[in-house]
Structure 1
Amino acid sequence: MEALLSLAFDNLSSYDGPKIKKGLKQVEGLLAPICLASAKTKKKQAALDDEHMQQKQKSTPKTLEELTDDPAFFEFFKLQEGFEWNIAQRLLDTLDRLLSRGSDGQNDLLIMSTLDLTQGVLLLHPPSKVLFAREKYMNLLLDLLEPVNCPAIQSATLLTLVVALIDTPQNTRSFESLDGLLTVTSIFKSRSTSREVKLKLVEFLYFYLMPETPSIPRADVRDSMPAMLQRSPSKLAKAFGNAPSGRKRRSSDDEPDFTLSSEEKQALLGRYLHNVDDLVRDLTAHTPFGGVVC
């Protein structure tokens, strides 16, 4: 896996569009087999299906329980602990370079592909979300939201931002401190913003107003478990009980999570948007996202 990542990272670090595209495909090719069920595991069932159903079966997503017993996922998760092999950081650095190249059709497609992959990596390895507590990377997402970018990029960025903020209050505080609320509400109020983006912005504001959880649920702290895994979801953590020790970090007891209530966030948002009460009433009445973000 290290050899495959090395090839992908070499291409992602290029300034040549085709090489960057190749690097993104290589990362996607590495992650897809981890996420998708093997046809062998469904061999008996596939034998009863027609050719169309067999093809569909090959792309069946794995369940969380299947991932915890998958050696490839185990290896992937361990590699993400180190700076050298962390995919999320490489993708964000690639985004930074792509953004500096200006806007054209091919570059926009590369940005959207990079954003899509970033979302997937953050979902597969939630501890990588800690990158967005850093000003550099949160500012990168805010820059991608600017109207100079096409609506498709703005929409993809909003989804990436949601993934980065879920169960990670420290990232939400970073978003707020960098005037993220001013950015999204200014775009929302602008007449030049497309209807598609405005709908995504309303969804984002609903999400922002949801109650916060203290952080990604963490497993029991053990010396035998890599430090970042101690913040991983408990259903995943059991897969790493015998993992070698990783680099040391301060425990979460030394890094308290600063959460805000929905009412406090409503007050913050009210500085920039006058109809926040309407959003809150709608949120209470219809409970989008099932009433929780998990």
Structure 2
Amino acid sequence: MEALLSLAFDNLSSYDGPKVRKGLRQVEGLLAQICLSSARDASPPSSPTRSSADASSTGGIKSLAELSQDLAFREFFKLQEGFEWNVAMRLVSTLDRLMGRGYSDGQNDLLILGALDLIQGVLLLHPPSKSLFSREQNMNLLLDLLEPVNCPAIQSATLLTLVTALIDTPRNTRTFEALDGLLAITSLFKSRSTTREVKLKLVEFLYFYLMPEVPSDPSKPGARAAAQRSPSKRARGRVGRGRRRLHARDGGEAGAPGPVP
């Protein structure tokens, strides 16, 4: 598995669009192998009249309980605990490079959509990776993708990624609030240029956001370790998201305002 991840990471770190696309497909293929049963063709259909298409569509998907007992999933989960093989971290870096190109075209938008979809999947398979979005720089990536300059498909995918990153993770929610994320959501909803489909996603997000916060289940893998982390202090400074992102990239050099007394 390390060899497969190494090949995928090499492609994801490239500035060449086709190589990035190849890396995304390699990660997608690895996740598909983990989530789908490899022995589905070995077991005969329960009915002789049942078609092979029905058998492949219903017999190969593993439940969450089955995944926790799968050796491939256990190996993948173990590798994600270290920064060297963490897929979510590499996908976030890839997303940052794609956004930093300074232009928008169909191919680049498709790569961004692919990265967002994979981030959602990885966060669901390895919930401790959600801690990446407790950092302002990474949360800002998602908030920047909600800007009106981005296409509706990217805005919708970003909202789904936000929900995945915030669910059962109060620390990420505090970072989202400290960066005026709720203001970004409401501003996008009020904008006349926002499409109906995106507004429906925004309503769904607000419905989720207004639900009472529930701590993570301590019985889930990695939840106990996440619960032991101290909650982050709510940021007091209020500056633009783009300026926060630039400050984070520059390593905290001069130009960032101090906290408001």
Band of TM-score, shorter chain: 0.7 to 0.9
- Provide the TM-score with structure 1 as the length reference: 0.74
> 1-side partners of 2:208 and 2:227: how far apart?
25
User: Aligned to 1:231, which of 219, 223, 248?
Assistant: 223
Q: How far apart, in 2, do the equivalents of 1:41 and 1:50 lie?
A: 12
In 2, are the aligned partners of 1:91 and 1:114 still within 8 Å (CA)?
yes
5+ residue gaps in structure 1?
Answer: 221-228, 233-248, 259-294
What residue is the counterpart of 1:5 in the other structure? 5
Instruction: Tell whether the 8 Å contact from 1:167 to 1:213 is kept in structure 2 after alignment.
Output: yes
Q: How many residues align?
A: 232
Q: Relative to 1, partners in 2 of residues 1:256 and 1:147: Cα closer, same or farther, differing over 3 Å?
A: closer
Contact 1:46–1:57 (Cα < 8 Å) also in 2: no
User: CA offset at residue 230 of structure 1?
Assistant: 3.7
Distance change >3 Å, CA 254–CA 72, structure 1 → 2: closer
Tell me which residue corresponds to 1:75. 75
Separation in 1 of the partners of 2:81 and 2:57? Answer: 33
The answer to whether 1:107 aligns with 2:99 is no
Question: Is the 1:39–1:57 Cα contact (8 Å) retained in structure 2?
Answer: no
The question of whether the paired residues in 1 share the 8 Å contact of 2:24 and 2:114 is answered with yes
Q: TM-score, normalized by length of structure 2? A: 0.83
Letter in 1 for 2:160: L
Counterpart AA for 1:7: L
Aligned to 1:203: 204
Give 2:125's aligned residue: 124
Shift, 1:150, TM fit: 0.2
Listed as ranges, the gaps of 5+ residues in structure 2 are 234-261
For residues 51 and 136 of structure 1, do their structure 2 counterparts lie closer, same or farther at Cα, with a shift above 3 Å needed? same
Deviations 1:141-170 (A, max 9, x none): 000111110000000000000000000000
Following superposition of structure 1 onto structure 2, how do residues 160-171 of structure 1 map, counting pairs within 5 Å?
160-171=161-172
Kept in 1, the 8 Å contact 2:171–2:231? The answer is: no
Give distance in 2, aligned partners of 1:122 and 1:151: 23
- Deviation string 1:196-236 (CA, Å, 9 cap, x unpaired) is 1111001100110000013x22249xxxxxxxx5426xxxx
1:120 is displaced (CA, Å) by 0.3
How do 1:140-219 residues align onto structure 2 when only pairs under 5 Å count? 140-214=141-215, 216-219=216-219
Match of residue 255 from structure 1 = 230
- Report how far residue 100 of structure 1 moved: 1.3
Instruction: Give, in angstroms, the shift of residue 256 of structure 1.
Output: 4.7
2:44 is paired with a residue whose SS is: helix
Measure, in 2, the Cα distance between the counterparts of 1:47 and 1:39: 18
Letter in structure 1 aligned against 2:75: E
Closer, same or farther: CA 53–39 of 1 in aligned 2, 3 Å? farther
Q: Deviations over 1:108-132 (max 9, x none)?
A: 0010011001000000000000000
1:277: which partner in 2? none
What residue in structure 1 maps to residue 244 of structure 2?
Answer: none
User: What secondary structure, in the 3-state scheme, does the structure 2 residue paired with 1:43 have?
Assistant: coil
User: Quick check: 1:46–1:53 contact (8 Å CA) kept in 2?
Assistant: no
* DSSP-derived class of the 1:61 partner: coil
